[in-house]
Amino acid sequence: MRTATVLAVLLIVLIAVTMIASGIGPYSISPLDVARAVLRRLSGGSDRGTVDTIVFNIRLPRVVAAAFVGAALAAAGAAYQSLFRNPLVSPDILGVSTGAGLGAVVGILVGLPVVFIQLMGFAGGLLTVTVVVVLARSLRGGSDILVLVLAGIVVGALAGAAISLVKVLADPYDQLPAITFWLLGSLAGVKANDIAATIPVVLLGLAPLILLRWRIGVLSLGDDEARALGVEVSRLRAIVIVAATLVTASVVAISGVIGWVGLMVPHMARLLVGPRFDRLLPASILLGAAFMIAVDTLARSAARIEIPLGVLTAVIGGPIFVWLLAHNRRKLLP
């Protein structure tokens, strides 16, 4: 009952943030005008004037992209925190972000078009997590959380070293700035058709997490207890890893590497709705979307240059996280 109220409020906040963010920029539009334009478009009306052009062609695609990036990272983070029974885990624990980063910077180094750089990022993320899981399996049956995390650290470190090597090899005037910008995360270059390609993949990855929400929550009790309660632990864990990797890799491919969101947003959501995963997941999705829209709006409007998203999420996320820990120690850390 209370959870439903919280989720309704978060949904209203998300809609409000969307309208406000779509109005902010060099050409200022009031949130009400944005809402009117959206409603007109939804009811089948035709485009009218500058406001519509700016809202639908420039602002809204980027806002929607930010919403999906935030929702995907927060959902993957919440799922991994339950899976690894550790509230201090983020979506890139198995190296998906570093792997995606390596794929993309290699794409930039060899001068591929943007679409292929994104595909390389996506493939790099998937490939890295596959290597991590296969490595963990060959080491010890693959059912051991610790081995998975260690394999993730090792493969992630290798991918990180490879990224450094690519940076050294890259043209310092042309390629290096693009690589650096990509590794810090940005939605500046995102296009409507990128978003159209990403949304189905994100939804495909979120669907199993939403459907299996109760069982994923039971997984947080530990392998033995979850199995004794009737959960097929190995199969469920495989599904969660594939789903979380899919959503993370697909958004990293369009936004670059953005830290902190997947770690911090589930914590904020946990304060609102408690630790139960079936409640935490929808709250994280809504909160992650709203948070990312706000951060991306700041990134494009706070200064005369685009501020990298990874920088902003760290600057905003770090202090918020410390505050959360200091004021809610009891709730967050047992």
Chain positions contacting another protein, by CB under 8 A: 82, 85-87, 211-215, 217-218, 220-225, 227-233, 274-276, 278, 330-331, 334
CB of 82 to another protein, least distance (A): 8
Query: Nearer Cβ to another protein, position 83 or 176?
Result: 83
Q: How far is Cα 90 from Cα 102, in angstroms, rounded to an integer?
A: 19
Nearer to another protein, 249 or 285 (CB): 285
- Residues listed for the chain: 334
187 or 285, CB closer to another protein? 285
Nearest approach in angstroms of CB 70 to another protein is: 23
Distance separating alpha carbons of residues 69 and 121, to the nearest angstrom = 15
**18 vs 81, which CB is nearer to another protein?**
81
Q: What are phi and psi of 84, to 5 degrees?
A: -90, 5
Cβ proximity of 279 and 4 under 8 Å: no
Closest approach of another protein to the CB of residue 81, in Å? 9
- Residue among 57 and 143 whose Cβ is closer to another protein: 143
Integer Cα distance of 236 and 248 in angstroms: 18
32 vs 88, which CB is nearer to another protein? 88
The answer for residues whose C-beta is within 8 angstroms of residue 28's C-beta and 6 or more apart is none
* Rounded Cα–Cα distance for residues 117 and 178 (Å): 11
Q: Which two tokens stand for residue 185?
A: 């995360």
CA distance 21 to 294: 7
Counting Cβ atoms within 10 Å, is residue 193 exposed (0-12), middle (13-18) or buried (19+)?
Answer: exposed
Q: How far is the CB of 313 from another protein (least distance, A)?
A: 24
CB 320 to another protein: min, Å? 20
Q: How far is the CB of 281 from another protein (least distance, A)?
A: 11
Which amino acid, residue 322?
V
